[in-house]
Amino acid sequence: MLTRKAIFYAVAGALAWTSSLRGQEATSELRIKLSTPDGSPVNGALVALLNAKDSVVAEGLASE
């Protein structure tokens, strides 16, 4: 009887531990180069990537 309880608690503990794990989010890199009409670079501008619901997905500063 003791071994069944031990197995039960071991399985329950393993399930609780694995349910708290999360997969890694997929990451990608997007580079945007901003320039004025005369061709000079624009540095330090805040650039945001929006989804279909106009929510910010990622943001960063423009750099050369």
Interatomic CA distance for residues 45 and 39, integer angstroms: 15
24 residue type, one letter: Q
Adjacent-strand bridge partners of 48: 59
**Strands, E assignment, 1-64:** 46-50, 56-61
Residue 57, pLDDT score: 84
21-41 pLDDT, tens per residue? 566 666 777 777 788 888 888
Whether 47 and 61 have beta carbons less than 8 Å apart is answered as yes
Residue 49 has pLDDT above 80, yes or no: yes
